[in-house]
Chains A and B, each alone.
With several copies, the nearest count.
Chain A
Amino acid sequence: MSVETLVHQEVLVVRLHGDLDHHSVESIRSEVEKALTLGGYRALVMSFASIDFMDSSGIGLILGRYKKLKEMRGAMALCEINPSLEKILKMSGVYRVLPVFPSEREALAHVKGVL
């Protein structure tokens, strides 16, 4: 598992790679939190393009960041969800609270528009 973070203007983009489970989620969470806090960002895009496996630990990660950004009146979007991820996200109600886009570009545009 690894995390790639980059910044597009005011938006933090997090690209997740590999397996997202309970073992890997802690270090991912702290990396994302650190990047958000250090940069003072209020907008986050999470890309799942390179995720090989994800269980409900990933749901916790997504909803945890969603709460944080909501408290800060920030914006957040997800992108590049493959079909097997989609099932888990739908089941957990993530689609009801967060916008999901096919591409990172569209997610970025949305989030910038909301800010």
Chain B
Amino acid sequence: MSSRVSPSVAVENYIRLQFPSKSENESFARVAVASFVAQLDPTLEELTEIKTAVSEAVTNAIIHGYENSFGEVRIECSILDHTVKITIEDDGAGIEDISVARQPLYTSRPDLERSGMGMTIMETFMDLMELESSPGCGTRVTLVKTVGDDPSQQPS
């Protein structure tokens, strides 16, 4: 699970973040992404939705992917016109059945009082949410959202 934004792809700006799977870094991750996305001049509501979606994906990488053991989370965030694309990936446990995992209220960790709403929140708050996962290898979530007052720009 590793990807690169090659400079030949038409991307206006991007960031890459990498950090260990510690819950302290959840707030760092969403604040960093939000401060990068701020250059698109999103509404406060759009920014909150992006922060929430990133928080869900990073939390999942930490508690489900790495099950609270050590591992690295990688985030890549790129913008093109008014569209932001964010990938959050881990090299953790992976997901056996993606369609089950995406169901609202499904959680494999009710013991941790997880609500099973993370995926649903990501889907609702973003224009597009894609999941790739291979059991034993890791998971990559791709989130796309067009922000601001330019609805002609579609996620690519």
A residues with a Cβ closer than 8 A to B are 19, 21-23, 25, 29, 53-57, 59-61, 63-64, 83-84, 87-88, 91-93
Contacts and interface: CB of A to CB of B under 8 A. Distances in A.
Nearest to A93: B105
* B30, B117, B124: most-surrounded residue (chain A CB, <10 A): B117
A91 B24 CA distance: 26
A55 B113 contact: no
B62 interface: yes
A13 B8 CA distance: 46
User: Interface SS of chain B: helix, strand, loop or mixed?
Assistant: helix
26 contacts: A21-B23, A21-B26, A21-B27, A21-B59, A22-B26, A22-B59, A22-B63, A23-B24, A23-B26, A53-B30, A54-B52, A55-B52, A55-B59, A55-B121, A56-B118, A57-B115, A63-B113, A63-B115, A83-B45, A84-B45, A84-B48, A88-B117, A91-B121, A91-B124, A92-B115, A92-B120
B51 interface: yes
A91 to B, nearest CB: 6
B26 to A, nearest CB: 5
B55 interface: yes
Contacts of A53: 27, 30, 48, 51-52, 55
Contacts of A88: 52, 117, 121
Contacts of A57: 59, 114-115
B121 A23 contact: no
Contacts of B120: 91-92
Nearest to A85: B48
Contact of A64 (B48, B56, B113, B118): B113
A29 B105 CA distance: 20
Interface size class of B (residues with CB under 8 A): 20 to 34
A21 B30 CA distance: 11
Contacts of A56: 56, 59, 114-115, 117-118, 121
Contacts of B118: 55-56
Interface in B4-31: 23-24, 26-27, 30
Contacts of B55: 21-22, 53, 55
A54 B118 CA distance: 12
Contacts of B113: 25, 29, 60-61, 63-64
